[in-house]
Amino acid sequence: MKIPYNEELRPDTGLYNAKLGIWLFLASEVMLFGGLFSAYIMLRLSDPNWANYGQSALNVPLATLNTIVLITSSVTMVMSWVALKLNDLKKYSMYMGLTLLCSFGFLVIKYIEYTSKFDHGLYPSTNNFLAVYFTLTGLHGLHVIGGIFVNGYFFGPGKKMWKTEPERFTNRIEVAGLYWHFVDLVWIFLFPALYLL
C-alpha cells in the first residue's frame, strides 16, 4: 500500500505530511533547547561568581570559524535541494558532499576546543558555566552527528530513490534541510550567548 501525501499535498493542511512532521519535531526541539537556555540565564543572573568561571577563556576565533563552517553547510544544504529541483543529481551530490564535509569540519573544530578545555582541567563538573557550556554545545554537537547520519544516508544509499520517485526524494532533502537549518539556527544563538556575551 502506498503511503499517502508523500508528494501530493494534503488538502486540509496544504502540505505533504513529512513537512508537517518535521515542523512538529522542530517545535519540540525548540522546547528542548529553550529549557536549557532558560536554565543558563537563570544560573548566570543569579550567580555572583559568574565572572570567575572562565567564560572569557573560550576560544572565540575557533568558534567564529565554526560559525562560518556551519553557515556554509546550511547554504550548501539548501543548494542541494535547488539542484534536485533543477533535475541535476550530479550537482546535488556535490552540494550534499560539501554539506557533509562542513559537518565533519565542525565536529573536528569542536573536538579541538573540547580537548584543549580538558587539557586545562576544565570539565563540566568544574563550575556552572562549564556545565552549561558542555551541556548546550554537547547537545548541539549530538544534533550535528544526527544530521550527518541523515545526510550521509541521502548522500549514499538513500539516493537511489531519485530514480524511482524523484519528487519524493526532493521532499526528503527539503525536510532534512529544515532540520539542518534548525541546527544552524541553534548555533547562531549559542555562539554569542556562550562565547561573546
Give contact residues for other proteins (rule: CB under 8 A): 13-15, 19-20, 23-24, 27, 30-31, 34-35, 37-39, 41-43, 45-49, 52-53, 60, 64, 67-68, 71-72, 74-75, 77-79, 82, 85-86, 127-128, 131, 177-178, 181-182, 184-185, 188-189, 191-193, 195-197
Nearer CB in complex with other proteins: 100/178: 178
In the complex, least distance from residue 92 CB atom to other proteins, rounded to whole angstroms: 13
Calculated CA dihedral for residues 62, 67, 71, 74, nearest 10 degrees: 90
Shorter beta-carbon distance to other proteins: residue 75 or 94 = 75
Q: Cα dist. 189→6, 33, 149, 195 in Å?
A: 33, 10, 24, 10
Nearest approach in angstroms of CB 177 to other proteins is 7
Residue 1 Cβ vs other proteins, minimum distance, rounded to whole Å? 25
Task: Please report how close the Cβ of residue 151 comes to other proteins at its closest, in angstroms.
Answer: 15
Q: What do you get for the CA distance between the two ends of the chain, in Å?
A: 54
Nearer of residues 3 and 31 to other proteins, judged by Cβ: 31
Residue 106 CB, shortest distance to other proteins, in Å, is: 14
| CB-nearer residue toward other proteins: 54 or 156 | 54
